[in-house]
Structure 1
Amino acid sequence: MPRYAVLATHSLTPPAPGPGAEAGGPTAVVLLLDGAGKAQGPPAVVARDRLPAAVAALEEQGVRWVWERTTDWYPDLLRAGADVSRAHDVALCRTILRFSAAAADTAYVRDLRSRPVDDGLEAPAHLLPPTRVSEHQSALFEEPQDDSTAAEAVAAEFRDQLAALPPTPAGRRLHLLLAAESAGALVAAEMTHHGVPWRRDLHAGLLERALGPRTPAGVRPARLEELADQLRVLLDAPGLNPDSPQELLRALHRAGIEAHSTRQWELEEFTHPAIAPLLRYKKLSRLHTANGWAWLDTWIADGRFRPEYVVGGVVTGRWASRGGGALQIPHAVRAAARADPGRMLVVADAAQLEPRILAVLARDTALAAAARGSDLYQGIADLGFGGDRAHAKMAVLGAMYGATTGESGRLMPQLAATFPRAVGFVEKAARQGETGGTVSSHLGRCSPPPSERWRAAQRTETAEQQRRADQLARARGRFTRNFVVQASAAEWALCWLGELRRRLRAERAAGRDLGDLVFFLHDEVMLHVPAEAADEVSALVQECARRAAELMFGAVPVDFPVGVAVVASYAEAK
Structure 2
Amino acid sequence: MPAYVLLSRDAHARSVTLTSLDADATPGDVRVVAADGLTDVVAQVEAADHPRWVWDDTRRWYPPLLDAGVRVERCHDLRLCHTILRHAASAAASRLQQAPPGPFDASAPDEPLPHEPDLLDALRELDEDASPPPSLDAPAPADGDGPDLLAELRDQLDAVTGATQPGRLRLLLAAESGGALVAAEMQHDGLPWDPVRHDELLTDLLGPRPVGGGRPRRLEELVTTIRELLADPHLNPDSQPHLLAALRRQGFSLSSTSKWEVRELDHPVVAPLLEYKKLSRLLSANGWAWLDSWVRDGRFRPAYVVGGVVTGRWATDGGGALQLPASLRAAARADDGWRLVVADAAQLEPRVLAAMSGDRAMADAARGSDLYQRIADAGTVPTRTDAKYALLGAIYGATTGSAGMLMPRLARAYPQAVALVEAAARAGERGETVSTWLGRTSPPASAAFLDRLGAAGAEGADPDDVRDARRRARDRGRFTRNFVVQGTAAEWALCWLASLRRRLREIGDGRARLVFFLHDEVVVHSPAQDADAVATAVREAAEEAGRLLFGAAPVEFALDLAVVRSYADA
1:101 corresponds in structure 2 to: 89
1:59 corresponds in structure 2 to: 46
Counterpart mapping for 1:86-485 below 5 A:
86-103=74-91, 105-111=93-99, 118=132, 120=134, 153-166=148-161, 170-216=165-211, 218-460=213-455, 461-485=461-485
User: The residue matched to 2:23 in structure 1 has which SS?
Assistant: coil
Structure 2: distance between partners of 1:151 and 1:34: 23
- Are the counterparts in 1 of residues 349 and 486 from structure 2 also a CA contact under 8 Å? yes
- Using the TM superposition, name which of 351-360 and 531-540 deviates more: 531-540
User: Is 1:5 matched up with 2:2?
Assistant: no
Structure 2: distance between partners of 1:153 and 1:32: 15
- Are the counterparts in 2 of residues 362 and 421 from structure 1 also a CA contact under 8 Å? yes
1:537 corresponds in structure 2 to: 534
- Are the counterparts in 2 of residues 212 and 222 from structure 1 also a CA contact under 8 Å? yes
Alignment-mate amino acid for residue 323 of structure 1: G
Alignment-mate amino acid for residue 80 of structure 1: A
Call closer, same or farther: CA 1:224–1:543 in 2, change over 3 Å: same
2:550 corresponds in structure 1 to: 553
- Are the counterparts in 2 of residues 200 and 300 from structure 1 also a CA contact under 8 Å? yes
Structure 1: distance between partners of 2:349 and 2:132: 28
Structure 2: distance between partners of 1:434 and 1:517: 40
Q: CA deviation at 1:12?
A: 3.2
Q: Please report the RMSD computed on the Cα atoms of aligned residues, expressed in angstroms.
A: 2.3
1:35 corresponds in structure 2 to: 23
After TM superposition, the score normalised by the length of structure 2 is: 0.89
Q: Spell out, residue by residue over 1:290-336, the C-alpha distance to the aligned partner (whole angstroms, 9 max, x if none).
A: 11111111111111111110111111110000111110100111111
After TM superposition, the score normalised by the length of structure 1 is: 0.89
- Are the counterparts in 1 of residues 94 and 162 from structure 2 also a CA contact under 8 Å? no
User: Is 1:513 matched up with 2:510?
Assistant: yes
Q: CA deviation at 1:210?
A: 1.7
Structure 2: distance between partners of 1:456 and 1:168: 30
User: The residue matched to 1:220 in structure 2 has which SS?
Assistant: coil
- Are the counterparts in 1 of residues 12 and 144 from structure 2 also a CA contact under 8 Å? no
User: The residue matched to 2:231 in structure 1 has which SS?
Assistant: coil
Q: CA deviation at 1:128?
A: 9.4
Structure 2: distance between partners of 1:168 and 1:200: 50
Sequence identity percentage:
54
Call closer, same or farther: CA 1:157–1:128 in 2, change over 3 Å: farther
Call closer, same or farther: CA 1:447–1:386 in 2, change over 3 Å: closer
Call closer, same or farther: CA 1:232–1:331 in 2, change over 3 Å: same
- Using the TM superposition, name which of 210-219 and 296-305 deviates more: 210-219
Larger Rg: 1
Structure 2: distance between partners of 1:387 and 1:32: 62
User: The residue matched to 1:345 in structure 2 has which SS?
Assistant: strand
Q: CA deviation at 1:149?
A: 6.5
- Are the counterparts in 2 of residues 514 and 537 from structure 1 also a CA contact under 8 Å? no
Structure 2: distance between partners of 1:302 and 1:329: 19
Alignment-mate amino acid for residue 258 of structure 2: R
Call closer, same or farther: CA 1:107–1:122 in 2, change over 3 Å: farther
Structure 2: distance between partners of 1:128 and 1:307: 24
1:566 corresponds in structure 2 to: 563
Q: CA deviation at 1:408?
A: 1.5
Alignment-mate amino acid for residue 172 of structure 1: G
Call closer, same or farther: CA 1:118–1:199 in 2, change over 3 Å: same
User: The residue matched to 2:313 in structure 1 has which SS?
Assistant: coil
Structure 1: distance between partners of 2:304 and 2:212: 28
> Aligned residue pairs: how many?
536
Q: CA deviation at 1:486?
A: 0.7
Structure 2: distance between partners of 1:424 and 1:122: 31
- Are the counterparts in 2 of residues 9 and 151 from structure 1 also a CA contact under 8 Å? no
- Are the counterparts in 2 of residues 117 and 448 from structure 1 also a CA contact under 8 Å? no
Q: CA deviation at 1:550?
A: 0.6
- Are the counterparts in 1 of residues 175 and 495 from structure 2 also a CA contact under 8 Å? yes
1:17 corresponds in structure 2 to: none
- Using the TM superposition, name which of 415-424 and 268-277 deviates more: 268-277
Q: CA deviation at 1:259?
A: 4.5
Match of 2:35 among 41, 48, 58: 48
User: The residue matched to 2:510 in structure 1 has which SS?
Assistant: coil
Structure 2: distance between partners of 1:513 and 1:449: 44
Call closer, same or farther: CA 1:151–1:267 in 2, change over 3 Å: closer
- Using the TM superposition, name which of 522-531 and 402-411 deviates more: 402-411
Q: Spell out, residue by residue over 1:2-41, the C-alpha distance to the aligned partner (whole angstroms, 9 max, x if none).
A: 221111221233xxxxxxxxxxxx2422222122111114
Structure 1: distance between partners of 2:469 and 2:162: 40
Alignment-mate amino acid for residue 536 of structure 2: A
Structure 2: distance between partners of 1:376 and 1:231: 43
- Flag structure 2 segments of 5+ consecutive residues without an equivalent: 106-129, 456-460
1:502 corresponds in structure 2 to: 502
Structure 1: distance between partners of 2:141 and 2:277: 51
- Flag structure 1 segments of 5+ consecutive residues without an equivalent: 14-25, 130-147
Q: CA deviation at 1:45?
A: 2.9
Q: Spell out, residue by residue over 1:376-427, the C-alpha distance to the aligned partner (whole angstroms, 9 max, x if none).
A: 0111122243541111111111110011122211111111111111111111
1:137 corresponds in structure 2 to: none
Structure 2: distance between partners of 1:462 and 1:152: 49
- Using the TM superposition, name which of 454-463 and 305-314 deviates more: 454-463
Q: Spell out, residue by residue over 1:444-479, the C-alpha distance to the aligned partner (whole angstroms, 9 max, x if none).
A: 111121122322332324332222221221111111
Alignment-mate amino acid for residue 149 of structure 2: V
